[in-house]
A and B are shown apart, each in its own frame.
Chain A
Amino acid sequence: MADQGDVITVRGLVKRYGPVEAVRGIDLDVHRGEIFGFLGPNGAGKSTTISILCTLVEKTAGSATVAGWDVARHPQEVRSRIGLVFQDPSLDNQLTARQNLYFHALAYGVPRRQRSERIRAALAMVGLEDRADVQVITYSGGMKRRLEIARGVLHHPEVLFLDEPTIGLDPQTRATVWDHLREIRAQTGTTIFMTTHYMEEAEWCDRIAVIDHGRIVALGTPDELKDQMGGDVVVVTTSDNDRAAEQITSRMGAAVTSDDGTLRVEVANGPEFVPQLVRELDVEVKTVTVRRPSLDDVFLKLTGRAIRDEEVDSAGALHRAMAQRWQGGRR
């Protein structure tokens, strides 16, 4: 059963939307004070799981506790102990940053004497003091995200949930967001539970769960997951990838996956494999790279598919741009 140090426990969690089974029996424990990553492609069930843990969505079966309280039976207790940064913005654009934080402080019962100091500190943490009194509608996407993070920790939650907190942000802003998360964890010991489909972000988590089609397919530290792979990954491009793939399989007995104009081969010993490869293939080998397995490789091996950042990103950016125009025009 749950450990004393576990701040989230999930057992056999299932969520069905009519015929769609978004979450299909998830078990996990999140330790107090860790940064826990929930990694999976679009539609894997990350947002659904996080929404159940945050008491916004009712589970179909299973159980979940957050900060010691059952999410179905004691939603108010859970709510008062968590902070949440949603996948889509949830700020009041008509209000100023300070007003947004003030609303939050009142709603979470931050004592009157501490309110203004906490709001000031939160704004300072994310570097928005100068813009605190202008309407949020004038903020960039990155500023909004930073404000939401400041708001998420304003009431000193035990767990901070973040659903794709860096989606659609430029690399520099993403790095800033991560700086904030690490600072929060270091200063307050707040547990951070975040979802992402960015592999490199998953690397920065203490532990990750890989989720696909509503199931957890792997759970551990990033190093543990990569070590499970064993061996090396060899990435090859040739003049005729189809033929090369066929020959690698038939002549060398290695598993090949084709991805975006390259062939990826998992082997026990990369440096020994490369000379063999060049000898055995009839087609011209153009490039060869040998590397340690990445989480990408782990994901590919577990699910047979790669997580595609580009598609998700452009779709997300488009959606966001449209939402903003709609907002700008009508509000």
Chain B
Amino acid sequence: MTSVTSLAELDLKTVEEFLFHEARLLDEKKWQKWDGLFTTDGTYWMPASVDQPDPLNYVSLIYEDKLLRAVRIERFDNENAHSLQPIPRSVHLVSNVMIDAYDAVSGTCTVNSRFVVFEYRRDEQRIYGGAYIHDLIFDGTDFKIKQKRVNLVNCESALDNINVYL
């Protein structure tokens, strides 16, 4: 990954590279490393409706803190997790990346992007599309994810199993 020399110099390319790197970790099944991108209190959130105000008072498709991510990640390697046998494969495409907000003092930034994910398992390919909203913290060298929000374009529809992190 490119390192950036100062907080003030945060540019789109650096942010993009981070998002591509994050997506690639998922595709390469490096889940522990991927989880390491989150802050200790970082959350992964896939709402069940696009305008959902919060994950506590409304049901979500996924709302996971560190503990729940650890459970999901360990299930990938658990032969008794029957729905993950065989382990699903994925390809994540990330695009249209824009920095919506950046505060050089605190290093917090909000990044908006679009994604397409292909999930493949047992002869079946599923395609998901939507928008990511990453709340990131940048310390001048590295990014950490405070929250990754996944707005699936069809999140309100009656969805079949989703077996991978989008």
Partners in one complex: no
